[in-house]
Amino acid sequence: MNKDFLKELGLHEDNSGTSTGQQGHHNEAKHIVSFSPVDGREIGRVSETTREQYDAVIAQAQVAFKHWRTVPAPQRGEIVRQYGEALRKHKDALGQLVSYEMGKSLTEGLGEVQEMIDICDFAVGLSRQLYGLTMHSERPLHRMYEQWHPMGIVGIISAFNFPVAVWSWNSMIAIVCGDVTVWKPSEKTPMCGVACQNIWAQVAAANDLPEGISSLINGNYQVGEWMTEDKRVPLISATGSTRMGKIVAKTVGARLGNSLLELGGNNAMIITETADMNLVLTGALFGAVGTCGQRCTSTRRLIVHESRYAEVRDKLKAAYGQLRIGDPLDKNNHVGPLIDKDSVATYQSAIEKIKAEGGKTIVEGGVLEGDNYVSGCYVKPAFFEVTKESKMPLHETFAPILYIMPYSTLEEAIEIQNNVPQGLSSAIMTTSMRESELFLSTAGSDCGIANVNIGTSGAEIGGAFGGEKETGGGRESGSDSWKAYMRRQTNTINYSTELPLAQGITFDL
């Protein structure tokens, strides 16, 4: 395999001395070794940030913030514009790295980089639109308005499955808001983090920007904990499992810091009597097996009207038979590997539990072996028939396992859909206006994302992204998500010669 993309992104076998925002001596540092789930080979290694280096990174970010917050927002936007241009230049190389290090298809890897470019464009426009409201004061000759100020250091903790896009959703918005960012990528995809930071370093150097506007730290959960415990970091934006989010929320909450949480999903598609079957098959299949079931928005449950149940089950079963599993960099394949062998073990144990609780196999799973699957991370997408009483569909298994169950009334279907701990993405497939409006109403889906005739998987950057309940409640990316990265200040200005006190109080002096 041609690995020129590594060179283009400034990546070496040993990334100790790269421009990662780390300081100090790297010789003693421990390393994270990155293995590709595609072929099991070592891609390279990245030095783990030590506590001493961490403190230096934060100190530098504090200094950088004092400068960056004074730079006019549209000028901050210009830097983000240039970052977007640099991403356009390196899109192919970065897309290949995402695909090789994470295991998603090359098309999805390139799509992820395109999302980064799109969020840069969005953030550039936003840099001229960080609007506050003007209110009418109840007092004469007074003016009242609100303004939005940057918060300071935004700590970004990200998951392996979107190793570059999630960082850009956070950082590009935070940076136009006048914040500075410190990123701890997943220890499963550290090379992607170094690559993004290297591209940032090029843009920063071309503009004589100080160090510390965007920084990178590397390591496992302990390095993440340094940030969540650190009062110098007013906002933690964490993407990952609900297990992680509960710990982060507690730690950040204990110091009354702000957290923005993007956690697990358990996304369902309701397929009604009136659904258009072409849309159903494409939406359900891609939603369930795309990215090998490792999207937070992957479709995990199909809730199907009893009149269409057998048809959906049988057509999907046939479609599963057409899937090609293998090297995700080969465009002929539909499904790549899971991220690592731990994930494979989780997938296998989930299948055992489903069978033990009476789930009926429609498409058998299993781990693939042989020359094309040497990494040991390739599995067959599995499909099970369950009932609404089954317990396993209440859990998010981060693998291509799909459940199907029947319903008789739409109210019942909505109840089944909402009756899980998570609340990220949801979809209804229907051609009935009444059904779709009920699904979108207050009595409908309780998720942060509710789609009609589109699958659950993926989202456009223009909307606010996130979900309710155990998904964490945070919103990122488009709409007014930027407000989470700023502090709001209400200003009242008196331009009279009187000082009227509130509630009619008089104070004779």
Q: Which residues are marked as active site?
A: 262
Angle between helix 165-177 and helix 73-89 axes, rounded to 10 deg: 150
97 touches ligand NAD (CB under 6 A): no
Question: Minimum distance from CB of 414 to ligand NAD (Å)?
Answer: 21
Among 99, 215, 228, 237, binds ligand NAD (CB under 6 A): 228
Question: Minimum distance from CB of 292 to ligand NAD (Å)?
Answer: 12
Residue 54, CA distances (Å) to 128, 160, 219 in order: 33, 21, 11
Rg (CA), the chain: 25
Name the residue among 444, 425, 405, 410 with its Cα closest to residue 272. Answer: 410
The footprint of ligand NAD on residues 28-57 (CB under 6 A) is none
Among 134, 207, 220, 491, binds ligand NAD (CB under 6 A): 220
Nearer to ligand NAD, 328 or 474 (CB): 474
Among 247, 279, 319, 368, binds ligand NAD (CB under 6 A): 247
User: What is the Cα–Cα distance from 445 to 132, expressed in whole angstroms?
Assistant: 31
Q: Which residues contact 141 (CB under 8 A, 6 or more apart)?
A: 494, 495, 496, 498
Site string for ligand NAD, 250-269 (x = CB under 6 A): ------------xxxx----
249 touches ligand NAD (CB under 6 A): no
221 touches ligand NAD (CB under 6 A): yes
Name the residue among 361, 283, 371 with its Cα closest to residue 327. Answer: 371
Burial per residue of 137-158, b for 16 or more beta-carbon CB atoms within 10 angstroms, e otherwise: eebeeeeeeeebebbbbbbbbb
Nearer to ligand NAD, 218 or 436 (CB): 218
The footprint of ligand NAD on residues 434-453 (CB under 6 A) is none
162 touches ligand NAD (CB under 6 A): yes
Which region among 28-36, 197-205, 233-241, 344-352 touches ligand NAD (by CB under 6 A)? 233-241
Question: Minimum distance from CB of 216 to ligand NAD (Å)?
Answer: 12
DSSP 372-385: GGTTS--B--EEEE
- For 370, left (φ over 0), alpha (ψ -120 to 50), or beta? left
Question: Minimum distance from CB of 399 to ligand NAD (Å)?
Answer: 11
The footprint of ligand NAD on residues 314-373 (CB under 6 A) is none
CB-based contact 420:446 (threshold 8 Å): no
Question: Minimum distance from CB of 287 to ligand NAD (Å)?
Answer: 14
CB-based contact 298:457 (threshold 8 Å): yes
Question: Minimum distance from CB of 71 to ligand NAD (Å)?
Answer: 29
**Residue type (1 letter), 194:** V
Among 225, 311, 340, 357, binds ligand NAD (CB under 6 A): 225
Torsion of CA 205, 209, 213, 216, to 10 degrees: 20
Site string for ligand NAD, 176-195 (x = CB under 6 A): --------x-xx--------
Quick one: CA dihedral 413, 419, 422, 423, positive or negative?
positive
165 phi and psi angles, rounded to 5 deg: -65, -40
Among 126, 130, 159, 164, binds ligand NAD (CB under 6 A): 159
Nearer to ligand NAD, 249 or 280 (CB): 249
The footprint of ligand NAD on residues 365-424 (CB under 6 A) is 396, 398, 424
Question: Minimum distance from CB of 369 to ligand NAD (Å)?
Answer: 24
240 touches ligand NAD (CB under 6 A): yes
User: What is the Cα–Cα distance from 227 to 444, expressed in whole angstroms?
Assistant: 38
226 touches ligand NAD (CB under 6 A): no
476 phi and psi angles, rounded to 5 deg: -130, 170
Question: Minimum distance from CB of 119 to ligand NAD (Å)?
Answer: 14
244 touches ligand NAD (CB under 6 A): yes
Binding footprint of ligand NAD, residue count (CB under 6 A): 29
165 touches ligand NAD (CB under 6 A): no
User: What kind and span of H or E run contains 360?
Assistant: strand 360-363
Helix and strand totals (H; E) in the chain = 14, 22
Nearer to ligand NAD, 161 or 198 (CB): 161
Name the residue among 62, 57, 2 with its Cα closest to residue 24. Answer: 57
CB-based contact 199:51 (threshold 8 Å): no
197 touches ligand NAD (CB under 6 A): no
224 touches ligand NAD (CB under 6 A): yes
Name the residue among 12, 76, 1 with its Cα closest to residue 47. Answer: 12
Which region among 20-28, 96-104, 220-228, 358-366 touches ligand NAD (by CB under 6 A)? 220-228
Question: Minimum distance from CB of 262 to ligand NAD (Å)?
Answer: 3
Nearer to ligand NAD, 94 or 263 (CB): 263
User: What kind and span of H or E run contains 33?
Assistant: strand 31-35
CB-based contact 95:107 (threshold 8 Å): no
Among 49, 99, 127, 161, binds ligand NAD (CB under 6 A): 161
Q: Note the residues at the interface with ligand NAD (CB under 6 A).
A: 157-162, 184, 186-187, 220-221, 224-225, 228, 239-241, 244, 247-248, 262-265, 296, 396, 398, 424, 471
